Structure 1
């Protein structure tokens, strides 16, 4: 088994004198919130799409295609949202890839533009969630996580716990056993997230927390997980308009941010074969995907200025530092304790507050990460601005599974 992932096919780099670089021309998102009766996916997702179009300086009729991501809604919910904006006969594709849904919609939008199939595409994601832990919606059907459950049962047991908590808590426990990582280190990650979110008006939890606050919160798994180490169920919507260089230049659009590289990958056999809970939650998949992105773009992870990564649990943030090459395997705890994951350190991770503080509306998460990084690269992030940010990495993970890693670059024109 190798770590190689196929590079994009050659021959699409030049069209009519323009590169096939894909630019993010506009972004928009709603404020995330806890589930409540007055929140409507139709209203909020349309608002995010309108914001992205307005940010780009475009109209709905300027779009060639749209990809709309969500997990918990009926088929053609994407049409339900976009028909309130316009009914132009636009091709609309609905996307569901678990927690990586938003980035999967972005991946398809970028791919359509990069291939020359379209010049201007909308990627939209939303989620209207219910309170409580994630659970199967169709219990009468085979679970897509059957094989994951089997490995988790063998590795850590505790099948009485909610599935996501058991998976990611088990992965954190594996790191603790292998490398001596302390529970307080995961608490420090959550405390860092709260400090970042204090400056993000879109985040749910903006109250700064101490490490002790996190450790003192309700115990979900003794010596492994407290409540504040887990992200909350959230409602929200986010969107991005991507376009070709030709379209951006001829229309006079903002081309400062482009997607320099992007890879979507799914699991390989090692996810189950290693019986390592870290691999079960996508560590190996994320590592392969990130390496392929760095290779495509010709950059080193040490060159990256800012990262939005998939911190559905504090444990997964630490694992992701190592998977994304921000530090070596087993060095995640030192990375945290040295302050290398925040302002003044090596790379600012989750300046938005991440999923832990901003919230995690499954279909919107990947596009909310995109919004944050575009704002960072444009210099529009306000008090949470990363100084002179030029390279940004986005990491969005879905169990079952899929991983999307995207590298954004500033300074195109």
Structure 2
């Protein structure tokens, strides 16, 4: 029988503009997030039996160098790279190890030290992992640049053409997330921009303005996962959060069905979400709080539909009705999301885990979602990387 898996400790650094903290290298980032997670669980690093370390930009075995700041105990350290879904992929691997009975206490950590500006290829002398996606999108929508905003903008343009979604509805998503981030001390940006400011910001690729795009960021986040036996032995049930469903889905043939939404992962996300709902015996109506991958405001709207919060084409109506913020049906990205909290690629999925753990424990401070901090609270995380992988995870408090 598969074992239950629990998050027993989380930690993260403040996400920062690249280079803002002088001398802040990735080992120092992991020392900060990892120590915070260990302290949260009340454990010494010697209790950790395996480590999954996620990062996108860095040399081989950077994970080892990073976690040696916590201790050099000889445990297996596996380096993980799944583009922007790296952190949640490390979390998935850690959860599988515990669920399968291979370990009782596992650390998942993600980190990134990024260069300022748009993402760029590091190895231009070989086939790019997104080359098939880029060619397919260029054939249907025409070429564009910079690559990432062009791809997600194309999906937004397609939604506007098909369903009548407006540029203002996309901008309202960014307005919401910037507003949420004001109360998050870990967020890179903590300023509430007006809707007019967001619409008037420089256009990157229409309909996306600069304030609707996630920034490059430095930072780290970590989570410690444990078995039920470990939780009971260490008396951690009062703070443990159970992983009740989790799925990783990579590209399928329908990624290349001719639509821009599919190219940026809508089908992957929908499939992963349904698998998680089935595993957990839950539906979107049971969820209270969601952290999802708003790398661009257009993707947040697409993800509403992929997660089943509304029918296809109704994402704009969901925004206008205020159903994804405090006082609505769900609170989506109470942390500020990638747009405002920041997006250090390897850390993002684990930062989502940290935020949702705090929400379910009722320790999220001014950004707390009241319904999440109940015994019946349910949280959902969605993290996606092109090339591609979509990871969806459902959480609820441990039975106490």
TM class by shorter chain equals: over 0.9
The equivalent of 1:267 in structure 2 is 251
2:258 is paired with a residue whose SS is coil
Distance 1:384 1:357 in 2: 14
The equivalent of 2:140 in structure 1 is 155
Deviations 1:333-362 (A, max 9, x none): 000000000011010000000000000000
Distance 2:160 2:187 in 1: 30
1:26 is paired with a residue whose SS is strand
User: Are 1:349 and 2:332 counterparts?
Assistant: yes
Q: Shift of residue 141 of structure 1? A: 1.2
8 Å CA contact 2:175–2:192 kept in 1: the answer is yes
1:136 is paired with a residue whose SS is coil
Q: Shift of residue 76 of structure 1? A: 0.5
Distance 1:236 1:102 in 2: 12
Identify the match of residue 122 of structure 1 among 95, 107, 119. Answer: 107
The equivalent of 2:97 in structure 1 is 112
Deviations 1:146-168 (A, max 9, x none): 10011111122233x11101110
TM-score (norm 2): 0.97
User: Are 1:393 and 2:344 counterparts?
Assistant: no
The equivalent of 1:72 in structure 2 is 57
User: Are 1:172 and 2:156 counterparts?
Assistant: yes
Q: Shift of residue 39 of structure 1? A: 2.5
Structure 2: 5+ residue runs without aligned partners? none
Distance 2:230 2:205 in 1: 52
Q: Shift of residue 372 of structure 1? A: 0.2
The equivalent of 2:84 in structure 1 is 99
Distance 1:221 1:111 in 2: 39
Q: Shift of residue 284 of structure 1? A: 0.5
The equivalent of 1:6 in structure 2 is none
Range moving further from structure 2, 35-44 or 170-179 = 35-44
Q: Shift of residue 410 of structure 1? A: 1.6
Distance 2:29 2:160 in 1: 40
The equivalent of 2:38 in structure 1 is 53
The equivalent of 1:183 in structure 2 is 167
Q: Shift of residue 85 of structure 1? A: 1.6
User: Are 1:331 and 2:314 counterparts?
Assistant: yes
Please show how residues 188-267 of structure 1 align to structure 2 within 5 Å: 188-222=172-206, 224-254=207-237, 255-267=239-251
Deviating beyond 4 angstroms after TM superposition, the runs of 4 or more aligned structure 1 residues are none
| Paired residue total | 393
Structure 1: 5+ residue runs without aligned partners? 1-10, 13-19
Identify the match of residue 283 of structure 2 among 300, 309, 334. Answer: 300
